Amino acid sequence: MTQQIGYWESIVDILTLKPVFLIGLLILASFLFWLTRKNKDSSKLINILSALLLFYYMSFTFFNVFGVPTLRELNRISGFGESIFNPNINLIPFIDGINAGYILNILCFIPIGFLCPLISNKYRKFSYSLLLGFGTSLLIEISQLFTIARATDIDDLISNVLGMILGYFLIEVILRMINHSSNKILDKTYGFSWMIPVLVVFIAFANTFFS
């Protein structure tokens, strides 16, 4: 029983965001509600909730999965007299085949491809989702040039983009399957600019770096 409680506490600890992330979440929520202050349509909540969920998910994965370096870590490494720039680069695709890490990277980006079209209708265009997936993955890979234990790997870039594509097609299938009335409701929620998902990723990344 004690061991089970320990596992549960560990899971809760991992899923709980640090105060700095909560500040970012509050700022983002305030901004989104300000954008929709003149729109009394309650269906706008779909946009807002999707954006906040994306922020939580990006904050969680940046910190716990992708290992984005933090300012504290860089200061600690520098304090030991070590270089903060540690390029470990692989530009040869599939050099290690398709392993569990490859599959994990695909799975991690599926929610991003799924949520973005619910935030802005611009991301129902394949090119927008593809570019955001590529840009986010590239940001992660560049940041890992400043870590000791991680590598900047072309396989990660490929698998992340593939996950984004799968998430995009998943939400497209769902939107096409729902009834005509629901489609109208969803269409009303598509007022946010294409920049909102980009802003969400940027804030989550900055929060991770300064956490």
pLDDT digits (tens, 9 = 90+) for 66-113: 989 999 999 988 888 888 888 889 999 988 888 888 999 999 999 999
Q: Which of the pair, 75 or 4, is modelled with greater confidence?
A: 75
Residue 178 pLDDT class (50, 70, 90 cuts): confident
Residue 7 pLDDT class (50, 70, 90 cuts): very low
- Read off the pTM: 0.86
Question: d(Cα 105, Cα 29) in Å, to the nearest integer?
Answer: 28
Q: Which of the pair, 204 or 39, is modelled with greater confidence?
A: 204
Q: Which of the pair, 67 or 3, is modelled with greater confidence?
A: 67
Domains of the chain, by residue range, sit at: 42-210
